[in-house]
Amino acid sequence: MVEKTQRTDSECVRALLDAQRTSQLSPRLRQTLDGLLDGASEKEVAARLGVSSATVHQYVTSLYRRFGVRSRAALLASALGVCAANVSDASLNEPPLAVASVALSRRLRQTLDSLLVGANEKEVAARLGVSPATVHQYVTSLYRRFGVRSRPQLLAHVLRLRVNANENASHAPSV
């Protein structure tokens, strides 16, 4: 029996770092990035690392500068793009298997897709031609459907689903 291996968030972080050829991150920055990819808040990351929230905030700011992003969602979206890089082009045009198993309307799928590329609620509203309040309702619905409480948790959860779906697809027997 072949044991299934799943890519962990830490492995995904390493793939992100290798793929973008960034300068070496300190162990603390890597640990902070791991926590963010797990969907943890700065306060939760601080507790894991045994440092103050202010210190973690400085680490997060440093990560944003190094990766050229301005939000946690954009950082996670970058990681999602790299971690899905092993998926064939054809499968990227379809929702990942695990995410497809969650029933989403067309608007919720469009909202999720926009969040995955780092858009904020105002940007999503402009893209969809609806009010920011409507997008906020869509985002709240996505939180409920995926069992999360924040945007970073949502993106980290979808990241894990995509990586796991990718791994499962690669372990499927060929016909």
The H or E element spanning position 117 is none
Whole-number pLDDT of residue 97? 39
Put residue 50 in one of left, alpha, beta given phi > 0 → left and psi -120 to 50 → alpha: left
**Same domain assignment for residues 161 and 93:** yes
Residue 175 lies in a domain: no
- Residues of the chain under the 50 pLDDT cut: 1-10, 19-22, 84-98
Whole-number pLDDT of residue 79? 60
Alpha-carbon span 139 to 121, nearest angstrom = 8
The domain total for the chain is 2
Q: Are the CB atoms for 124 and 115 separated by under 8 Å?
A: yes
Whole-number pLDDT of residue 138? 96
To which residue do tokens 């920011």 refer?
Answer: 132
Residue 80 lies in a domain: no
DSSP assignment letter at 149: S
Whole-number pLDDT of residue 167? 64
**Same domain assignment for residues 129 and 61:** no
Quote the domain boundaries for residue 158.
89-170
Whole-number pLDDT of residue 66? 84
Alpha-carbon span 8 to 4, nearest angstrom = 12
Whole-number pLDDT of residue 101? 56
Whole-number pLDDT of residue 111? 92
Phi, psi torsion values for 148, nearest 5 degrees: -125, 170
